[in-house]
Structure 1
Amino acid sequence: MDNLSVFKHFAPKETDNSQLAKTAVIYTRVSHSSQEDNTSLESQRKRCEEYATTNGYSVVEYFGGTHESAKTDDRKEFNRMLTFVKRNKRVNYILVYSYERFSRTGADGMKIAQDLQKQYKVTTLSVSQGIDPSTITGEFQRNIMLLFGHLDNQMRKDKTVSGMRELVEKGYTPYSIPKGYVNLNKGSKAVDQKIVLNEEGKLLRKAFIWKADKQMRNCEIIQRLNALGLKLDDRRLCEIFANPYYCGIIVSKLTPNKAIEGKHEPMISREIFLKVNNIVADNRTHPVSHKAEDENLPLKRFSHCSECNAPMTGYIVRKKNLWYYKCRTKGCNTNKSAKQLHESFKTLISEFEVNPQQTELIQLGIASMYCVFFEEINENQKLYNSKISELKNKIESAEEKLVTGVIDRPMFDKFKAKFNDEMNKVEDLLAQIKRGSSNLEKCLKLVVKYCQKPLLWWENASIGDRMIFQNIVFPDGIIYDRKKDRILTPRVNSYFKPIPQLEGVIKGKKNGDSINFDAIPDRVTQSGFEIFHLVSLYFF
């Protein structure tokens, strides 16, 4: 039988997303209650509502409306919104003023946005950045914005930490004052603080003396303090006994391996503090710290086991002072020297290195792969500009008819309002594609900047920046294949993927030379990117 039409009704039906209702929630957030200007809560909500009205979104609920720091995604209003959209099948959009309002946690924020889009069909839209994350191009740009938000947060944090470190080194307390103390100049700068004992501090002084002179057990001390009105548990009391702040000495994570004489009033003498801790030290244990970001393990959680696809964690063999990666799955024997895995990963990223004398050529080469995309943008810009000119001419024609008496004032106002409304919509569309084109060009420049010295950059960057770089180039991480001792890259970012191929095309050329980029077969259209196949690289 040659007629295939009879089999069409067995084929899956195409999903028409254009017919889906645009149902949205709005999420607004500021970092602190004093934040004003164009990112205040009121301004954010107003912009989101205007965007919803203009683009036909039906807003069913509002979330946020308060100050929540986005340095973590464990936020009350944020989690309430996530629960709502996951349970409410009608909601398919989250409107935010900008992606940094949504999250500043970098890769974690990216994962939340991606999970919402893939698992729940909920798209996170920034009303001020002109990005459409329903396309792969827009999804990448959204992820870049989320990573930039994290980077900006880290840079602010570094600046704040540097200032706090200087104050600590001078003996001040630029953070929460320990229990038992009060600042008589509350609200003043750290250098103007006057930190003295309060009534709780006098009771804690008794606790130190009971421990030092009478060698009283913690449970007895706690019982006495409770009777005097100071409620403590054993863990909290141990923390107080181990804090040299109470004898006038400051130790802080801001100044590791340093003991600094503080400018606050000591609660006890140094002799009493040391005597108490000589007693406590007999039964003290030091728990192992499990850090999410470890300078010795930059590929932690980024690398996965090929056997069970579980993220890999790490550990140290203290006798040899050697670090290793291992699979988290109980019973899995995947284990790899951190030094060897790092060397393999460095070999991998060195494939994307760009010769400084060819940066312009590489950028032109990547842009040529997007030529169809840019051509479509330029064509749309011409169409929108032509439409705007046409509407302006209609308004001028109506004005002439009003002057000559062909139409009256009410009729003119009606036509003018209609033409102005159409023109505003076209101008909004024109602004959106201009922002989209600008964002794409910024991304191309960022890619070339990263690739000028990717290996040197990855080796010397902070742990946070290294992890950002890894996630940008390899969005799905890497897979370690223990049986063949190799690294697999499930997906390479579309902007970085053509660089090794382009290096071959421009070999021997320099900036300013004429290059025929038609030799590169792949082209990117506005509908998205080519599908990537698994790329495997072997290391021995």
Structure 2
Amino acid sequence: MNLDKFKKFKKESTVKITDSNTQKEIWSYTRVSSKEQTKKKYSIEGQIKHIEEYALDNDLVITQRHGGTYESAKRDFTRREFKLLIDNVRSAKKKPHAIAIKFISRFSRSGGSAIGLVEELVETLKVHLIETSSGLTTETEKGQMDIYSKLLHSKKENMMRMEMTLPALKDFVEEGNWLGRPPRGYTMYGEKVTNYKNRIKGQELKINEEGKILKKAWQWKSEGMPDFLIRQRLLDQYHFKMTKQSMSNMWRNPFYVGVSKHRMLDSPIIGKWPALVPEKIWDKVQALLQDAKRQSGYEKSKINEFRPLTGFIHCAQCGAPITSYIAKKKNVHYYKCQHGKGGNMNAFTTPRSLKVGVNDAFIDFLKQFELEDHKAEALKSILSTMLGRHADNNKDQVKNLKLQLKKVQEKIDKVDERYFLSENQNEEAYVKIKGKLESEIEIIKSKIQNVSGDLSNQDNYIEKAIDFSQNLSKHWNSGDLSSKLIIQQTLFPEGLIINPENREYRTKKMNGLISVIESIARDEKDSKSKKATQKGGLSSIVAGTGLEPVTFGL
């Protein structure tokens, strides 16, 4: 039979033939798990070189490089560079033909989730995976199955390693050692820490300079100070930033009292590190946190502008902090003893109220501490001396800030050195890191300027302090919520005790300013008493909450 007559019935191929002169674009991804993996076949440099040679041999061009760092592959999207790679692939308008990795285990060890991710890359995004060490590629169905098999094998390897290492890790933790990065405020010394200067035999955790500052935060919290005021004071006095969530987590972390509650342990144990806070302070803070929990029976509110004394005042009958709530139907604000012994107390005095409102009673209480006009000169003399000491304090702050400035500049120098000496420069990462460090420098420089100049007008500060001392009740009553809370906590750092029956207040502990005013009022003519007042009052003001310039302007 002559088959040539059937040629006209042959269907043309619909497969598009790629021009052999057009190079396919690929992206590379490199990774090692730790700095200890320094063998050539696992090193970043070795991986990069192998992928480049593969691309050259197979007429491929690398247009983007990702990874190049130390990241564990146990979980995929906890790896910053890996997440960046996948996000870039998903968002890229012009997607690469493939992602090239020397070993599949460098891509992921998460098993099933990794297979799902590769499925998305190949089927949805049309981006393949290439293992350059073996030549396997998802471009063929067999190659795709082989890569899936290798991903599962990598997961199995991880599980086997964990079975071998978990018992040893458990013994390590049970001996009182810490596993992982220590919480803020501690520096770790050991055999495998990243900072080579801190490498020693065994393990040791030490409280660092941040820890010393955090210790003050714990003390303030145990005295009942609200978190937002603690964060503000840390920032104002020590230029120490802390988020709301991280502070909340810190109060509930037994690590700071020297106790380990690691999940590998059957029960908590005493750790081998020094406690940042005594057990007594820890117990006080936990009691305050417990008292702050929502109570049933009415809608308890947090501190607000109509009930600024919430948690600040304590019941004279049971000693518990006073909570507050709003009766929504009547739109009336009340304070309430947690244990019910003091009953409900109206926040404001109204024509129908039988007793004076708690807020109005507090205003009357403040009036008794207000300085009379003819006694202002005595306070001016004391404040002048205090501001001189405050200036000395500022010099120390400037010194510390300049030290911080030097450290950040050294980090910038290292970033520049690594970038310019690297053969594989990641310009995007370099610009991002350097920009962040330069922003830190600008912030520190601004703080140095503020601290250096905040006492440039001493007379103005003194006048504001006198005005504040003569009008305590007026400033509190007219201020916003933040101002009210600052005034309360500044003047009475341990809060006040209120008698629910007669709405009378008693002080627990007064700020140095109030002590000075009281002493001046007792005997302004007695020179010996004056000297003693100045000495004791200044000590209280400077060492305690203090009359910072910002307080003068309240």
Q: Same fold (TM over 0.5)?
A: no
Q: Quick one: higher RCO (CA 8 Å, sep 6+), 1 or 2?
A: 1
What is the TM-score normalised by the length of structure 2? 0.44
What is the TM-score normalised by the length of structure 1? 0.45
Larger radius of gyration: 2
